[in-house]
Structure 1
């Protein structure tokens, strides 16, 4: 188990190095390459992501698009910063609050397609402890050391929202571990008391002896919308390449229901990329609607405002997305 995680961590480090010194970071030409495919540059994904699967199935190629990975995100670096710097073209992870925060910072980003949503049977986030832990519910995490990823606000945000709703207060030692698999490994080694865990690594962790689940994001929010992730581009890219954006949303509209109905095949594709065993992985559940649901975004805004990411009225749900380019 530890060897598997160590291998993934090594790959992540190598990708970060290659992203810093081996990639062409010049602005995209805005034209198809010699192979006739339009390149869309994105951050390399280190978890379960529909972009990887759509690319493997040829859905992007059918739309005249090819996905070009530019390396994993460094600590403290966001997809939105890389787009603003002309390094990447699209953001392919994260949630509505991330787009809202980018726009509040002056980066004109727009979501054009939904991604995964929360599901009772395929939860977005699982909360795990060691089997011997005295922690038996989320009410017990006050004063504890909790491992989170750098994909805020879904890891710490859900928990802060839950504690607020339950009128529970007290310090929590939030420990950010950005590398894939690092959160789960830290729990196994007893370095943290609780870990938040996403697919695919939640599945691996739960198969290990001595790991116990105390709750999921569904238990907190009871809503598919509160798990919504979104994909998109800068406003400039959308204006310059509307047909490419439409092709991008068509490819994703094909792959989302495919993943839901072909989970074992989807696991094999992701496992091949991450050098893991398919049977160990857990999966996300994907939104099968072609449009982004504004009510789902509003749920994220309610959470974000409750935990103080911004003040109510600073930005509206309609400001961060468009369905103009969704498949008809």
Structure 2
């Protein structure tokens, strides 16, 4: 799915009592790692959101997990690569993107560090690549010369589409003849039905709403290609982490706790909370999409990141000729050090 103002945060004079988080899930209480014992070095974190959706940091803020830190919304984005570029340029303090896009940016010497997974693929949360019923497109070969709508280039959808084409045996030249067209997610279904594109990438609530209306079916799905996995991570800059270790830890701890809250809380309660958050922020957004929310999609407990969730895309980019073999090592590429669940099994 789917990711600039000079840093000017004032130092927070806050006394943060050292404590440990307790999470209750399925009647069992699990002790998480204790807070770092120091006050966050900043008072707020700047970020980008998504129209009609709730991010895990926003959920953490609403649940009270993020305090004394506050979030400062600077605008919306539909692009993961753009979101993490905003972190690099200093317009935001954190941002999230598909792990493959993060690897590409790190390979270009961007000083960023993935610190927690925030979206992924499971049996309830996945993306399908849909065609109209009656479409002549039945296989990967049929996509030559056709148009596929994606939310942005260089991210999740592009990687999945190219992997599908590779596995089907298409040559590099044939793959170049499959055109990816950037279309805002909220208008992708309409664009497909108007036959302005041949295939539409649809996931989550937008997929389910489209399926309710009927007349479409998936050509392929990302879960069929890769199975269950965390697909994207939030990043901080190395500079931010070094200057603000307590704020970094607080951000990750709060987000991890929000992920587990969403994972273990009854679905109807999660949806109701999301609706409340959207209505309270007063951005004149439609809350109908969150009614289709099904799961976090995050594979690791509390957003823990695993080697394979980055190693897969390092090898993929090497095979694509985007980076050189050995250019990036998985060791030190990401960190789970701030995650309160780091010593627990996934």
Are the equivalent residues in 2 in contact too, given 1:97–1:301 (CA < 8 A)? yes
Are the equivalent residues in 2 in contact too, given 1:126–1:216 (CA < 8 A)? yes
State the TM-score, normalized to the length of structure 1: 0.80
Cα root mean square deviation, aligned: 2.8
* Residue 291 (structure 2) aligns with: 279
After superposition, the Cα gap between the structure-2 partners of 1:284 and 1:217, relative to the gap in structure 1 and judged at 3 Å, is farther
* Residue 307 (structure 2) aligns with: 294
Residues of 1 paired with 2:137 and 2:273: CA distance?
A: 35
Are the equivalent residues in 2 in contact too, given 1:96–1:228 (CA < 8 A)? yes
* Residue 41 (structure 1) aligns with: 46
- Residues 136-147 of structure 1 mapped to structure 2, 5 A cutoff: 136-138=138-140, 140-147=142-149
| Partner residue of 1:82 out of 82, 86, 105 | 86
Consecutive unaligned residues of structure 2, counting only runs of 5 or more, are: 15-39, 279-284
* Residue 198 (structure 2) aligns with: 193
Aligned residues: 298
* Residue 254 (structure 1) aligns with: 257
Kindly state the Cα deviation for residue 103 of structure 1 after the two structures are TM-superposed: 2.2
After superposition, the Cα gap between the structure-2 partners of 1:296 and 1:280, relative to the gap in structure 1 and judged at 3 Å, is closer
After superposition, the Cα gap between the structure-2 partners of 1:136 and 1:81, relative to the gap in structure 1 and judged at 3 Å, is same
State the TM-score, normalized to the length of structure 2: 0.76
Larger Rg: 2
* Residue 263 (structure 1) aligns with: 267
After superposition, the Cα gap between the structure-2 partners of 1:134 and 1:263, relative to the gap in structure 1 and judged at 3 Å, is farther
Kindly state the Cα deviation for residue 221 of structure 1 after the two structures are TM-superposed: 1.6
Residues of 1 paired with 2:11 and 2:103: CA distance?
A: 29
Residues of 2 paired with 1:266 and 1:188: CA distance?
A: 31
- Residues 33-72 of structure 1 mapped to structure 2, 5 A cutoff: 38-46=43-51, 47=53, 49-61=55-67, 64-72=68-76
Greater strand content = 2
- Residues 145-294 of structure 1 mapped to structure 2, 5 A cutoff: 145-150=147-152, 152-169=154-171, 170=174, 171-177=177-183, 179-222=184-227, 224-225=228-229, 227-261=230-264, 262-270=266-274, 273=278, 274-277=285-288, 278-281=290-293, 283-290=295-302, 291-294=304-307
Kindly state the Cα deviation for residue 251 of structure 1 after the two structures are TM-superposed: 1.1
2:75 is paired with a residue of what secondary structure?
coil
1:88 is paired with a residue of what secondary structure?
coil
Residues of 2 paired with 1:142 and 1:284: CA distance?
A: 34
2:8 is paired with a residue of what secondary structure?
coil
Residues of 2 paired with 1:205 and 1:181: CA distance?
A: 11
Kindly state the Cα deviation for residue 315 of structure 1 after the two structures are TM-superposed: 1.6
